[in-house]
């Protein structure tokens, strides 16, 4: 796996590594290197050398630095000179760039290949509000569907929408979904399936704006999701589905949405629910919905981010039932 060095002035490197870990999970072969006010070039170079020596392999190393021409860059550049054929340096470190680097390590074994892949996400992560201040790129062509509205019954591709992930998350579209899960599943569209949110214009707008670059986001009620799942015009769509609770998943499955596995990510606590893990709280209706989904052959993947190990859903349900009974 490509080793990554985050090198910055001050504690920025440690902070952004913590942020990246919160979103994408713990990472191997990643080190944060800080240049403090009392330190000089030799100090940060020694830290870099020690970090590289700690990696499983020193063949492929990627430096992500804060400022081109700054001391962290200059010292990384000195080490890079002896490894130009494999190592790489990218300046202008930001969180979208770091998340893309973490995701790219799943499929790329070259530091230089990852360096090339993270440049555009890093640039696209710099955006402005209000939007009219943002320079407009040249008009892009939407390749997901042919231009113009398609007549009902038109078959696109094989006529079946592809579900790359179905996730239960009471927070719906947030950092872990917009970065980690999107990078690992590569959807063309994020669909929030919720009757309540579909009626809330403000929440709908915020969700649509939170979609990562290159991915569209929509908010629709459960019945509309059932309808879309049977519409052959969505045959080229790769969808990441987000549900607030297992009851909505059950309604969708009973309506014919062909979900085979549900990622259980986060369920917020509220009155009447019991806490069964750091991120999961369940009430009686939740437990009953999960039991019915299991009866229908649905599998469960319990984890917040792709790098986490999946927890045992049966143990979680048993704990929920026991604690609910004891209330």
Average pLDDT over residues 202-230: 90
pLDDT band at 174 (very low <50, low <70, confident <90, very high): confident
Tell me: pLDDT of 294 over 90. Answer: yes
Q: How confident is the model at residue 132 (pLDDT cuts 50, 70, 90)?
A: confident
Q: Which of 9, 269, 294, 319 is catalytic?
A: 9
Q: Which of 117, 60, 70, 114 is nearest to 92 (CA)?
A: 70
Compute the distance between CA of residue 24 and CA of residue 130 in angstroms, rounded to an integer. 29
Average pLDDT over residues 202-227: 89
Q: What's the pLDDT score for residue 163?
A: 96
| Confidence at residue 140, expressed as pLDDT on a 0 to 100 scale | 40
Q: 248 near 194, Cβ under 8 Å?
A: yes
Q: What is the pLDDT of residues 41-100, one digit of tens each?
A: 999 999 999 999 999 999 999 999 999 988 999 999 999 999 999 999 999 999 999 999
- Cβ count within 10 A of residue 143: 9
pLDDT band at residue 27 using 50, 70 and 90 as cut-offs:
very high
Q: Is 138 exposed, middle or buried (0-12, 13-18, 19+ CB in 10 A)?
A: exposed
Which is more confidently placed, 2 or 140?
A: 2
Check residue 137 and give its pLDDT: 60
Distance CA 45, CA 25 (A): 27
174 belongs to the catalytic site = yes
Specify whether 83 is catalytic: no
CA distance 123 to 178: 16
Catalytic residue among 116, 160, 174, 321: 174
As a 3-state breakdown, the chain gives helix, strand, coil percent values, each rounded to 5, of: 40, 20, 40
Q: Give the model's pLDDT for residue 157.
A: 81
| Whether 118 contacts 91, CB under 8 Å | no
Q: What is the pLDDT of residue 148?
A: 53
Residue whose entry in the numeric block shows the structure tokens 């494999």: 86
Instruction: Check pLDDT > 90 for residue 310.
Output: yes
φ and ψ at residue 326, rounded to 5 degrees: -80, -10
Taking the C-alpha atoms of residue 298 and residue 258, their distance in angstroms, rounded to an integer, is 10
Percentage of residues in the chain having pLDDT higher than 90: 69
User: Which is it for strands 281-282 and 274-275: parallel, antiparallel or unpaired?
Assistant: antiparallel
pLDDT tens-digit series, residues 199-212? 999 889 888 888 88
Distance, CA of 137 to CA of 158 (rounded, Å): 32
What CA dihedral angle connects 203, 204, 210 and 212, to 10 degrees? 160
Mean pLDDT for 280-309 is 95
């Amino acid at each position: 796996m490509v080793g990554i060095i985050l090198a910055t002035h001050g504690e920025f490197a440690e902070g952004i590594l913590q942020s990246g870990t919160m979103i994408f999970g713990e990472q191997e072969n990643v080190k944060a290197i800080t240049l403090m006010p009392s330190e000089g070039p030799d100090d940060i170079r020694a830290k870099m050398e020690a970090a590289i020596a700690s990696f499983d392999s020193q063949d492929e190393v990627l430096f992500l630095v804060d400022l081109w021409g700054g001391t962290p860059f200059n010292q990384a550049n000195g080490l890079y000179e002896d490894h130009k054929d494999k190592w790489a340096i990218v300046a202008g470190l930001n969180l979208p760039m770091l998340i893309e680097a973490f995701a790219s390590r799943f499929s790329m074994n070259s530091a230089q290949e990852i360096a090339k892949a993270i440049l555009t996400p890093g640039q696209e992560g710099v955006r402005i509000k209000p939007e009219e201040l943002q320079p407009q790129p040249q008009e892009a062509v939407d390749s997901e569907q042919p231009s113009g509205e398609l007549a009902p019954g038109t078959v696109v591709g094989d006529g079946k929408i592809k579900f790359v992930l179905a996730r239960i998350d009471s927070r719906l579209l947030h950092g872990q979904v917009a970065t980690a899960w999107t990078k690992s599943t590569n959807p063309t569209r994020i669909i929030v399936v919720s009757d309540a949110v579909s009626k809330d214009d403000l929440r709908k707008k915020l969700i649509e704006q939170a979609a990562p670059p290159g991915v569209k986001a929509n908010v629709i009620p459960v019945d509309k999701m059932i309808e879309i799942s049977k519409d052959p015009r969505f045959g080229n769509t790769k969808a990441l589905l987000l549900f607030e609770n297992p009851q909505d998943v059950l309604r969708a499955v009973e309506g014919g949405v062909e979900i085979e596995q549900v990622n259980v990510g986060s369920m917020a606590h509220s009155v009447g629910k019991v806490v069964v893990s750091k991120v999961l709280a369940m009430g009686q209706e939740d437990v009953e919905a999960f039991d019915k989904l299991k009866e229908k052959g649905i599998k469960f993947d319990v984890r917040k981010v792709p790098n986490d190990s999946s927890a045992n859903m049966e143990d979680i349900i048993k704990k929920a039932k026991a604690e609910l009974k004891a209330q």
